[in-house]
Amino acid sequence: MERPRVASAIAAALRLQFAAAPIAFSIVAVCTIASGGVAAVLGWLAQQLVDELARGAALDAGRATRLAIATAVVTCGTMLLALAIGYAEMAARGKVALRIERTLMTRIVALDGLRHFEDPAFLGRLRLAEQAAHDAPQDLTAFAMTCCRTAVSVVSLTVVVAGVSPMIAGLLLAIGAAGIATQLVGNRWSNALSESLVHTERWRAFYRALLTDVRAAKEIRLFGLGPLLLGRLAAQSQKATSGELRIARFGVSIQAALTAAAAAFTAIGTIVVVGRVIAGRLSIGDVSLFLAAVAGIQTAFTGIVRQLGGVGHNALTFRHYLAVVHEPAPAPASHTAAPALRRGITVRGAWFRYDPASPWILRGLDLWIPAGSSLGIVGLNGAGKTTLIKLLCRFYELERGEILWDGVDLRALAPEALRRRISATFQDFMTYDLSAAENIGVGRVEAIADLARIRGAARLADIDAPLAALPGGYATPLSRTLASEDAPELAGTTLSIGQWQRVALARSLMRSDADLVILDEPSSGLDAEAEHRVHATLAATGAGKTRILISHRLGALRDADQIAVLADGAVCESGTHDELMARGGAYARLFTLQASSYQDALVRAAGDSEVAACG
């Protein structure tokens, strides 16, 4: 464990604790320091009381009574200090956890683009950062307080022991220092092992979540994946458990060695003190004081050593939190507000890949999308269609080339302002565990409570009637896992894939003033009749808007003003439907292939009808 890094983590935890709960933090600090001197005070009182009682006939009953009362008062005060510390720590814990969670989630929301969420290393740090919200800062603060209490306690008790035997006092301090140094060295090893287990923990979390995922439940049961996934979960758990046991064995061995050494020196010290009492150089009260002081010093050092075993892990976890919340932001550019789209969008020489080790997705792609026109994008899987959409939304940045919005590079526009000009239905749209109204209303957050506007968007997407017919209408939760908090008696429900797709489409239609409308496979889950109605609605509502439509159903694109065919990360041909069919290229081949499948189906259906009629 690197002490400077642990010290910086502790300092950050203390600042966070004070910022989140200043009064509770101050109470804990004052009471903790005060409690550090209690052991020495009680030891001294016990010495005085025992010596007074040992005087026999010369006993001063009044002084003995006062000493007994003082001992009781200090003991009671110790209990009250402990209660005050416990209550203040409990009061601070919730506030600190809330502050950490809010800060962390605020930072996550502020991350621009998608690259962070596809980076395994960042996701590992994020998982550990989320753990920090529970215990790490409080444990680090508790360790700092324990150090303060231990310092006060050890100094005061060492003075007491030194008065009886300076040699024993020095030995006890040496044992404590050796224990702390040994634990610090051990923590370096255990922290390195903990770091190596991050990947294993990520796989454990993945398999655990997969086994309880309602979306995966059907295939797990149909294909009998349960034993396979359980076996892999067990293997990862065994690997993690073995590592944790190695850490625990190391800690136990250190504790055992230190306990044996402390016990040996305590025995030696006790023999020396008893011998001096027999020789008449010390009183019986001195024995009591010595034993109390030795026990107090050992307890203090043992507490430090035990906490050191966990403080390294907590510091590691908390440093991940600090790394996430202080993730360096890209250098701010001279962003300008995104203007309304008047002329069009130009994609010029666009090259893009998701990381340096991945193949190029776009390879010098050129494209012109006039404002107010509709563009259909066609291509085989992996041609770069969805990637182009992500770049238009500035979820990623081009490696080479440029995308221009009315002649202005997208990188010069504020991402938030640009995205307010765009509405999209993504192929992998979200199904939120929210009410039907909120699932549509999130498309325009400021209108999330505007039921009239929400229902208007739902009507355009041909989903209003099914949602209105739900048990609670638009207030019905579209989830069986989360009931409505406002109306617990209202059970949730689930929708079909086609219905969910129309909800997602209605969500995008909430932005009726968008300049650019992107529809990535908006009807893949719809039946033929619903698809026809949706496309008719989109054509009517999208008049005058710039529209990009991606679909593997080429019949849905034939009315587009322009169709671009992507292959190998570039546009291999473009034109209207009629122009591309006349050209006889890739588009004509794909369209003819699809059309022939429909025609074969029609021929078979007609033949079946004739056979039935003859029968």
Residue 402 has which token pair? 């440029």
The confidence score (pLDDT) of residue 380 equals: 87
Residue 184 — very low, low, confident or very high, per pLDDT cuts 50/70/90?
A: low
Report d(CA 129, CA 133) in Å as an integer: 7
pLDDT in tens, 330-353: 555 546 788 899 999 999 999 999
pLDDT at 254 over 50: yes
Helices (H) and strands (E) in the chain, counts: 20, 10
Report d(CA 487, CA 597) in Å as an integer: 50
- 88-102, 281-295, 495-509, 523-537: range with lowest mean pLDDT: 523-537
Report d(CA 234, CA 239) in Å as an integer: 9
Percent of the chain topping pLDDT 70? 82
The confidence score (pLDDT) of residue 74 equals: 86
CB 501 within 8 A of CB 522: yes
pLDDT at 601 over 70: no
Helix (H) or strand (E) holding 453: helix 451-460
pLDDT in tens, 428-472: 888 888 899 999 999 999 999 999 999 999 998 889 999 999 988
- Give 417 or 489, the one with higher predicted confidence: 417
Residue 276 — very low, low, confident or very high, per pLDDT cuts 50/70/90?
A: confident
Average model confidence (pLDDT) for the chain? 80
pLDDT in tens, 33-44: 888 888 778 878
The confidence score (pLDDT) of residue 603 equals: 46
The confidence score (pLDDT) of residue 90 equals: 84
pLDDT in tens, 568-587: 899 999 999 999 999 999 99
- Give 470 or 271, the one with higher predicted confidence: 470
Per-residue b/e over 368-393, b at no fewer than 16 CB within 10 Å?
bbebbbbbbbbbeeebbbbbbbbbbb
CB 488 within 8 A of CB 477: no
The confidence score (pLDDT) of residue 489 equals: 55
pLDDT at 369 over 90: yes
- The CATH number assigned to the domain with range 344-588 reads 3.40.50.300
pLDDT in tens, 129-144: 777 667 778 888 888 8
- Give 534 or 45, the one with higher predicted confidence: 45
Report d(CA 498, CA 475) in Å as an integer: 20
Helix (H) or strand (E) holding 549: strand 546-550
CB 481 within 8 A of CB 492: yes
Sort 518 into a burial class: Cβ within 10 Å, 0-12 / 13-18 / 19+: buried
pLDDT in tens, 491-523: 778 888 888 989 999 999 999 889 999 988 876
The confidence score (pLDDT) of residue 133 equals: 66
In a 13 Å sphere around the CA of 545, the CA atoms on its Cβ side amount to 23
pLDDT at 544 over 80: no
pLDDT in tens, 208-220: 888 887 678 767 8
Residue 60 — very low, low, confident or very high, per pLDDT cuts 50/70/90?
A: confident
Residue 365 has which token pair? 């792609």
Report d(CA 50, CA 277) in Å as an integer: 14
Residue 1 — very low, low, confident or very high, per pLDDT cuts 50/70/90?
A: very low
pLDDT at 321 over 90: no
The confidence score (pLDDT) of residue 606 equals: 45
Phi, psi of 326 (to 5 degrees): -110, 20
Provide the 3-class DSSP secondary structure of residue 483. Answer: coil
Q: Sort residue 327 into left (φ over 0), alpha (ψ -120 to 50) or beta.
A: beta
Q: Which of 544, 549, 376, 533 is nearest to 460 (CA)?
A: 533
- For the sheet containing 362-370, what is the strand order? 362-370, 344-352, 400-405, 408-409
pLDDT at 488 over 60: no
The contacts of residue 137 (CB under 8 Å, 6+ apart) are 13, 16, 17, 96, 100, 318
Mean predicted confidence (pLDDT) in 592-600: 73
Other residues' Cβ atoms within 10 Å of the Cβ of residue 614? 6
pLDDT at 164 over 80: no
Residue 50 has which token pair? 């025992």
Residue 315 — very low, low, confident or very high, per pLDDT cuts 50/70/90?
A: confident
Mean predicted confidence (pLDDT) in 178-194: 62
Q: Which fold has domain 3-325?
A: ABC transporter transmembrane region fold (1.20.1560)
The contacts of residue 160 (CB under 8 Å, 6+ apart) are 40, 43, 44, 289, 290, 293
- 10-14, 253-257, 392-396: range with lowest mean pLDDT: 253-257
Residue 211 has which token pair? 């086994």
Percent of the chain topping pLDDT 90? 22
Residue ranges, CATH 3.40.50.300, the chain: 344-588
The confidence score (pLDDT) of residue 255 equals: 66
Which residues are bridge partners to 408 per DSSP?
A: 405
Report d(CA 457, CA 437) in Å as an integer: 11
pLDDT at 310 over 80: no
Residue ranges, CATH 1.20.1560.10, the chain: 3-325
pLDDT at 260 over 80: no
